[in-house]
Structure 1
Amino acid sequence: MTDKGVFGQRYEARIARAISYVDENPADHISLEILSSVACLSPFHFHRVFRSLTGESVREFVERRKLEHAIALANKGKSWKYAAAACGFASPISFTRSFKRVFGVPPSAFDLSAWWNKRGDRDDAHRVSSYFLRPAPPLDPEFKVELMERPAVRLAVSRAWGGYLHPERLIGAYSRLRNWAEKAGISASDGKISGASRDDPDLTPLSRCRYDFLIELPEGVLPPTHFSLTERKAGLWAVAHAKGGLDIVDRAWSTLFKSWLPASGLDLRDEPAEEVYLKLPEDIGWTEFDLLCCVPVDYPKD
C-alpha cells in the first residue's frame, strides 16, 4: 500500500464508491467497466487509480472480497455450494479454483487455524492483537450490554488502509476528518464520531484491512470530495461500554462477540460494528479509551 497523498485524496471517494458496490453486490458479475462507471472514471484510469490506492488489481480485490463473503456464509452454517452461488461464481468448479488460488486449499479442506499459521503476516497479526486466536472468555455477569435503537444518519467517512500495521495511517485519517469538521463547525462530541473496521482481520491480510472514521452530518451538509458519504441505517444495536487501555477494549469486543452474542440468541445484521467515541482521542490520547462497542443485531424473533 503506497502513500496516497494529494492524488489519493482526489480520487478516494470515487474508489470508495466502487468498493462499496463490490461489498453490497457479492452475487453479481462485477466487471472493470461496471466499477469504473460507478466511480465515474474511464476503465483505463480507474484500474490505475484503483491499484494505486488499494495495492490490488480490480480482479484480485473482487475475487478476494467474494471469497471472504463466502467464508462468512459458510461460518453461518451455509453449504459451500450455497456460498458459491450467493457470491456470484458461475459453477462450483470456478469457485473451488478461485478459492484454492487465494487460500491455498479447496474450500472443503479450509481450516482457519491452519491458514492463520501459514499466512505471511502472522507475526504482525500476533503483535497487533491476539483477539482472533483467543478462546471465548467466560461471560462475566457484570458485563453489561444494552439493546439500543439508533436512528438513520448521514455520515462523512475518512478511510485508512493497513492501519493495523501502520497506526500513523489511522491517526492521519482521524485527524483529517476532525480538522475538517472543526472548520465546518460540526460537533464531534457526545458520540458523534465513531470508527468501523470494514474487514475481518481473521481473513483479510492486515495490509488490505480498511478502517473508517465516521462523523454524523447535520442536515444539508456535504463533506469535501476526498471524503466518502454514507448512511447508517436505523436499527437495533447491542452496546457495551469500554473504558481503559487497548486490553480493556479488546476484551470488551471479545466478550461481546464470542460470549454474549451466542448466548443472546440474536443474529448479526450485515453491517460493520462501530466504536463510538465518548471521549475523543485528542482529549485522552490514543492509549486510553472511553467508547461504546456497538454491534448491529436483528430484532428478536417473536
Structure 2
Amino acid sequence: MPHLLSYKKGLYCFCHWLQGSSFWGLFGVSKRMNLYRRLGMVIIFSTALLVSCAPASQKGTLQLYANGEERLQTGWTSKDGWQLQFDHVYLTLGTVTAYQTNPPFDPEGGDRPKSEVTVVFSDPVTVDLVRDERPLVGSTVAAVGHFNALQWQTVAPSLQLVGTAQRGSVRVPFNLTLDQPLAFVCGDYIGDQRKGIVAANSAADLEITLHFDHLFGDGAEPPTAAINRDAVGFDPFAAIATPEGVTVDWTGLQQKLRSQDFERLRKVLSSLGHVGEGHCREVSL
C-alpha cells in the first residue's frame, strides 16, 4: 500500500508539473492545452527518444583469406618424380560472395547459394600464395551469424605458377599462366576449426583453399592413389619445354599439349577449389 500511495503521489506531482510547466513554451504549446493532450505528446516524445537511442542491428567483421597450403612454401615431389619449388603462385580473384544459408548449402546439389544475408567482395585482387601462406583478400562489415557458403570466381590471368622442377640432373624453370577464368560454389568450411561465424563487434574469417596436389599429384602417395590417377603431373609440361624452360599461357597449352593431357588439365582445374577440406563445385560464369 505505501508503494501505491507513493506512485499516486508521484503521478499527481508529474501531472501538476505538466499543467503549469514552461517546458511547453519551448515547442510553442499553449498552456491552455488540456492535460491529456500534453500526456499524449510526452508519450510521443519519449517513444521517439527511445527509438533514436536503440542499438542498430548488430554487426561484426568478416575477413576473407586465400590459402594454397604449406606445400607451396616447402615444395614437394610430383606424381612423376619432379621436385617442385615455387617462387610465386599468383591468384587473381574477381567477385566473391559469402552467404548465410539455412539449411546449410550443399555444393553437390546442383543449385547456387541463396540467402537474404550476404557479403560481397567485389574488387578484383591478386595475391601471392607463396609469399604469404594465407594472404588477406578482403575485409568488410558483416551481419552477425554463420556465413556457411561461398561463390567465387577468378579473372584473367587467374593463376600464374612460377618456379622450377628438377628430376635427376634435369632442371626446368617454368612460368605457367592458366588464364582460363574459373568459378566455384562452396559449402561450409571443413577443417580443425569452424569458420565464418560472425559475432557482434568481433571478426571472423572465411577461406578459399586451393589444392595444387590435384594438379601435379603427390610422389609420396602410391601411383594408384586417387590424387595421382587424376593429376596431370609435370611430365606434360617438361615435354614442351625449351632449353630455357617452359613459359606458356592457356592458349599455348591448348596448342602444344597432347589433347588428352590438355583435357586432363582442364578437368583438374575444375577440382582445384576447396574451403579447407570441403569441396566446391565448378559453375559456369
Q: Under a length normalisation based on structure 2, what TM-score does the superposition of the two structures give? A: 0.22
Structure in which a larger fraction of residues adopt strand: 2
Structure in which a larger fraction of residues adopt helix: 1
Q: Under a length normalisation based on structure 1, what TM-score does the superposition of the two structures give? A: 0.21
Highest RCO, 1 vs 2 (Cα 8 Å, sep ≥ 6): 2
